[in-house]
Structure 1
Amino acid sequence: MKMGASAFLIVVGLDGSELSFGALKWAVEEARLRQGAVRAVTAWHYPPVPSSVEDAGPNDALHYFQRMQSEALETVDSQGLEISAVLVRDLPARALLDAAKDADLLVVGSRGHGGFAGLLLGSVTNQVAHHAPCPVLVFRAAG
């Protein structure tokens, strides 16, 4: 265990997709079984654009992701469990890999909001599965 002798840390990627909500619920239940903690990470990234265009977007995106993350965390039973929320403006894979540096497990959905729904793994999931500093669990929908 990297966080301390008494805490098994699970980092979970939360992007607003149904699979990320499922991953969050799974992570909370696993952390409860292990008497651990959960760190929910939400990241977003804008490609470089002229500042006049970007100036209108980041606050809207920030508020959207804050609201989404807060609403998602309200859906899980966190009673007796330490759950921290991290919101970062960065490439999602980089943000997850950074957040997982001291984690015992990284949990991500098999696909997020990317445009290629037919893929078995999304690009962020693929990147973290290959580069994570800890074991990775890829959450898939039942069925």
Structure 2
Amino acid sequence: MNDTIPLGRREFEKALNDLLRAYQSTEEGQASYHSDDSVRCHHCMFTTGSTDCSFCTYCRDCQNCTYCTQCNECEHCHQSSYCVRSKRCASSSYLILSQDCTDCVFCFGCVGLVKKEFHILNQKFPRDRYFKLVKELKAALQIP
């Protein structure tokens, strides 16, 4: 083990870039359990086909997600569950085709919402109407 740390700016940046390249070239994750076909996923369980995720459980085909559960085809989602094809969402559940939503529940095709529920294309619907419309939309858009 080398105890010397490069203190010059160029030497330090080169050493850091070398570390980044070495990390990005490996496909192994750490401390994951039954995470098949995943790349650089750490502390994930039963996560498949995902890349650069951490602390996710039962996620599939996700990228750069953390602390997510039962999410499919999501990107950059955090502390969320049961989301499908959503991006940059946080602390949310049951989102489908949504982006940049935070603290939302049951939203379909929504963008930029905060603390909303039962919305489709950023419009609020009564609970029963929401589920009926979502069923029709999922069939039309071939979303399982």
TM-score (norm. length: structure 2):
0.23
Greater percentage in strand: 1
Q: Who wins on radius of gyration, i.e. which is larger?
A: 2
Greater percentage in helix: 1
Question: Larger relative contact order (C-alpha < 8 A, sep ≥ 6)?
Answer: 1
